[in-house]
Structure 1
Amino acid sequence: MPDSRHSVSVAGVVVDDRGRALLIQRRDNGRWEAPGGVLEQDEDIITGLCREVQEETGLDVTPTALTGVYKNMTRGIVALVFRCKAEAGSLRESDETSAFRWVTADEVAELADEAFAIRVQDALTMSSTVPIRQHDGVDILG
């Protein structure tokens, strides 16, 4: 019988006054992504989002909109992605992050795998309908 458990993660696309998104470079694999991670079992969504962004960037953020729901079909991870505004703090590296970069929607496509770039692009373009997408960990499916 297949494993029916899923993991829920959150990511915060922090947008600056110039309309650019903050990417982190992950220390474990060198990939560029929006900051985020897996929710803890007893943690609500917004608390977990703010904790993950703060741990990985040093920034305190306020989420302003849910901008997408994504499922990694290979690993069974459902990700909720939010557009965020930085309220306080300053960028600092952590055990999980080795670098930061502010990027446009076009620039993120050059740095990140499609499955992660689309999350940032969706947050930057913010349509009236929240996209729901599936991927295999790298590429968007169907």
Structure 2
Amino acid sequence: MSADSRHSVSVAGVIVDDQGRALLIQRRDNGHWEVPGGVLERNEDIISGLRREVQEETGLEVTPIALTGVYKNMPRGIVALVFRCKVESDSLRESDESSGFRWVTADEVAELAHEAFAIRVQDALVTQSTVLIRAHDGTRLLG
């Protein structure tokens, strides 16, 4: 398999509070608002990687409730698995990767985040039994 045919797998947690809002982090590297998450390490399982990434970026311990979407960044070859999560221990704190936090509604996320990342929150906030599958270019949805 050539390096060009390989994909990277990332995980992200849409943490939902009792008011139906989702937690966004402001990324320290680029200032963008997104849900916490990141690339899985080769030797870790999906749920452990999700919990690790969320804890590193927010200080929170979470439990995934449901896989809500699979998203592919077509130019970069990154497949993201997005989970709706609930907080198990509340110790929200900034990190080397996050510089701020904001609880947002489905409408508010569209004003703060690029479409390709806002849709992940909007999909996770909708009660559904089907996992949504979408492609994007890093900013906008495709197709």
Give the TM-score of the pair, scaled to structure 1: 0.98
Distance 2:107 2:83 in 1: 19
- What letter matches 1:68 in structure 2? G
Distance 1:18 1:99 in 2: 20
Distance 2:131 2:3 in 1: 29
- What letter matches 1:74 in structure 2? P
**Cross-structure match for 1:126:** 127
Distance 2:53 2:72 in 1: 19
Deviation at 1:127, TM superposition (A): 1.9
**Cross-structure match for 2:66:** 65
| Structure 2 gaps, min length 5 | none
Alignment deviations for residues 28-66 of structure 1 (CA, whole Å, 9 cap, x no partner): 000000000000000000000000000000000000000
Say if 2:14 is the partner of 1:34: no
Say if 2:4 is the partner of 1:24: no
Distance 2:77 2:66 in 1: 24
**Per the alignment, in what secondary structure is the counterpart of residue 117 of structure 1?**
helix
Percent of aligned pairs with the same residue? 81
The size of the alignment, in residue pairs, is: 142
Distance 1:2 1:85 in 2: 36
**Per the alignment, in what secondary structure is the counterpart of residue 127 of structure 1?**
coil
Deviation at 1:2, TM superposition (A): 7.4
**Cross-structure match for 1:51:** 52
**Cross-structure match for 1:86:** 87
**Cross-structure match for 1:9:** 10
- What letter matches 1:128 in structure 2? S
Give the TM-score of the pair, scaled to structure 2: 0.97
- What letter matches 1:6 in structure 2? H
Q: Which runs of 4+ in 1 moved over 3 A?
A: none
| Structure 1 gaps, min length 5 | none
**Per the alignment, in what secondary structure is the counterpart of residue 121 of structure 1?**
helix
- What letter matches 2:26 in structure 1? Q
